[in-house]
Amino acid sequence: MIDAARIKQDFPALDQEVRGNPLVYLDSAATSQKPRAVLDALVGFYERDNANVHRGVHTLAERATEAYENARTRLATFLGAAPGEIVWTRNATEAINLVAHSYAMPLLGEGDEILVTVMEHHANLVPWHFVARATGAKVRAVPLREDFTLDLDRFHDMLGPRTRLVCFSMLSNTLGTINPAREMTEAAHRVGAKVVIDAAQAVPHMPVDVVSLDCDFLALSGHKMMGPTGIGALFGKAELLASMPPFLGGGEMIQEVRVDDSTYKAPPHRFEAGTPAIAEAVGLGAAVDYLTGLGMAAVEAYEQEITAYALDVLGALPGIRILGPTTMPRGGAVSFTLEGVHPHDLATILDSQGIAVRAGHHCTMPLHDALGVPASARASFYVYNTRDDADRLVLALDKAVRMFAGTA
């Protein structure tokens, strides 16, 4: 079972005051805090093993290479993949761009369709706009139902013989909606489309197995799953990666270079040009170990519990509108508006009381347009958040309401 109060002690950044109040960190959907084990792994690498990878035969280079590749193997195991199917990237955004440029650009043509959802993060929209402009393909979006879940009837209706790619988030960073990834993947494959899953929000919060999902590509970011910034990964089925040209050219991804031509390594190294984020990969490996130690089923169960509690206490506030499902299961990102208070003002007031939330469009402008609101506030819960954190959020929101009503 998860003991959030004890787990919180593993995260040094959470043990501080902000503006004279104990920090309540509710912005993990943007970036998670890092446990001591990850920080120690980063420092330990730089103190003992710092060298470039795959290029040297001296001891430090061999240790760095081993640590770097071991991290790849641990992440692959975490996802149910083979190590050769894991490409290191800077983040999920770069991973999706890699698929867009190396897989989609050469294959798509005029009239082909890329099916997305209206709830997508910009990282899973803008790369497909690049593809559409370059190839003549069209980007189409599946709408929502009134309960903030995906309209699956429309999804199935929109699939067709010209659908080449189906690209969707497994867990919405704004709504907390969990999409039926396996069902959507099976439906996409029936019409011959390939599937790209944005799992940046899902991988930190629930068990994710790429074999069970049968997805073709899956993207994640390390910094949302307790790892460092500047490191992410793309899972791609081995046969698809082998068919794709390199995304970037230069050192490390080459096999042989001549003045007038060059050949390239097999995946995944074909897609990893230049000196990679070695220490960051090592740190992500440590984050994977930490999450594995907690157990992802236990992480998911606890987050369902703490999110359900937060929704209950938030729902009791007058003037609040929850943007997302109010029943379980759902993710821990809880976006909302408060009548008469702009989300940016609200976030500022909360910060004055030591509570960190997000305010804005959360990189989901089309979704906010569909909801008819320009912006929202978002409190996102993770395994180190407690009921006391949710209670402090509600007390601070109540104070904000009274302040703007002139009764505080």
Task: Point out the residues that are catalytic.
Answer: 363
DSSP state letters, 173-194 = TTT-PBP-HHHHHHHHHHTT-E
Burial readout 373-398 (b: 16 or more C-beta within 10 A, e: otherwise): eebbbbbbbbbbbbeebbebbbebbe
Tell me if 254 sits within 8 A of 278, measured CB to CB.
no
Structure tokens at 330: 């759902």
Q: Is 261 helix (H, G, I), strand (E, B) or coil?
A: coil
Q: How far apart are CA 97 and CA 330, in angstroms?
A: 27
Tell me if 281 sits within 8 A of 71, measured CB to CB.
yes
How many helices and strands (H and E) does the chain possess? 15, 17
Q: What is the DSSP letter of 139?
A: E
DSSP state letters, 125-137 = THHHHHHHHHH--
Question: What are the beta bridge partners of residue 257?
Answer: 262
